[in-house]
Amino acid sequence: MPALHLNVRPFQDEDYPALVAVMNAIHPDHPRTEEEVRHGDRRFWGRFRLHRLVAEHAGRLVGWAEFRHKVSEYHPRKFFVDLGVHPEVQGRGVGARLYEALLQELEPLNPFVLWAGARETSTRSVRFLLDRGFVERRRTWESRLAVETFDPTPFQARAEEAVRGLRVTTVAEERERDPDWEVKLYDLDLEVEADIPRMGDYTPPDLQHWRAGLLENPNWIPEADFVVVDGDRYVAHSNLFRSQHLPKVLYQGITGTRRAFRARGLALALKLRTVAYAKSHGYREIRTWNDALNTPMLHINERLGFVRQPAWIGFERLLKEVGS
């Protein structure tokens, strides 16, 4: 099919509704709202950069491309690039035009590494990245649990033993009880996040960026953020997030334990709490993602009955040698 006549320009605030429409046309099983996308964009201030372009055809937004720093893997010359084209006009040069324009915008920043991602079933996206010098670095598995049919009975004894002598509560309760709850939760997250497999090196976010990512997330549920407390110290937690477009679906966020408390069954105990919350509140499904190298969490999810979906592939392109 012939290439389209395109107008590629910087993203503007009034583009959000059209941008979200394109995103949802590409990934209808993971729909997003304007509020959710705006929240994600608000994480980028200070040293963290986000730059987005859009492509218009006949006055209609048909695609976008962006580069951004990764808050927890920050390097001034490493960027995650993302682009999408409405399915109705894929294969007509929109993605190529956006990508080339994005590289021109990136050039003054002297990048030496680009990261990108694609679902393994999206063969067009995978080929697009491979053709432009990206190589596969890792895979992340999406898994889904059918809440209504889940039976916790086989796991309850192990979970009860794991938390013996400890206190299990929620962030909602801790906010009312402990004036230091926020700093304690932040400190726990820093230790847990440091050991999660990722593309780059872990860079701990400051308290403000951590707060923006979690506490200011419009879909975070404090009543479903479960915390294990040893004495007065937070040692493990697991949380859930709503989906604004999918009222019967919850997304699993972090499930993590401090190093000194691992291999005791705390993650399993917390996962049971999240599933119980979902079931008691009428949700039908929990969705989660785990890096292929995060075998302990993958094993827990498989034991609980989470069903793997197609993987999301992480790609990397080395533009220059470090120091050049």
Q: What pLDDT, in 10s, does the model give residues 9-62?
A: 999 999 999 999 999 999 999 999 999 999 999 999 999 999 999 999 999 999
Q: What pLDDT, in 10s, does the model give residues 130-167?
A: 999 999 999 999 999 999 999 999 999 999 999 999 99
Q: What percent of the chain has pLDDT over 90?
A: 94
pLDDT mean over 85-109: 96
- The CATH 3.40.630.30 domain(s) of the chain lie at 7-111, 143-309
Q: Is the pLDDT confidence value at 3 over 80?
A: no
Beta bridge partners, 87, equal none
Q: What pLDDT, in 10s, does the model give residues 276-288?
A: 999 999 999 999 9
Mean pLDDT score across all residues of the chain: 95
Of the listed ranges 47-51, 115-119, 210-214, 295-299, the least confidently predicted one is 295-299
CATH of 7-111, one of 3.60.10.10, 1.10.10.1800, 3.40.190.10, 3.40.630.30: 3.40.630.30
pLDDT mean over 74-87: 97
Q: What pLDDT, in 10s, does the model give residues 165-189?
A: 999 999 999 999 999 999 999 999 9
Beta bridge partners, 249, equal 285
Q: What percent of the chain has pLDDT over 70?
A: 98
Q: Is the pLDDT confidence value at 107 over 90?
A: yes
Q: Is the pLDDT confidence value at 1 over 80?
A: no
Distance CA 192, CA 257 (A): 6
Is this structure's pTM higher than 0.95?
Answer: no
**What pLDDT sits at residue 4?**
81
**What pLDDT sits at residue 27?**
96
**What pLDDT sits at residue 294?**
85
Residue 243: how many CB atoms within 10 A of its CB? Answer: 19
User: For 54, which DSSP code?
Assistant: E
Grade residue 322 by pLDDT with cuts at 50, 70 and 90.
Answer: low
Class of domain 143-309: alpha beta
Q: What pLDDT, in 10s, does the model give residues 242-273?
A: 999 999 999 999 999 999 999 999 999 999 99
Distance CA 4, CA 96 (A): 11
Measured between alpha carbons, how far apart are the two ends of the chain, in Å? Answer: 41
For the beta sheet containing 78-85, the strands, ordered from the edge strand earlier in sequence to the opposite edge, are: 7-10, 50-57, 60-68, 78-85, 113-119, 307-318, 135-146, 285-291, 249-257, 233-242, 226-230, 167-170
Q: Which of 241, 294, 237, 295 is nearest to 267 (CA)?
A: 237
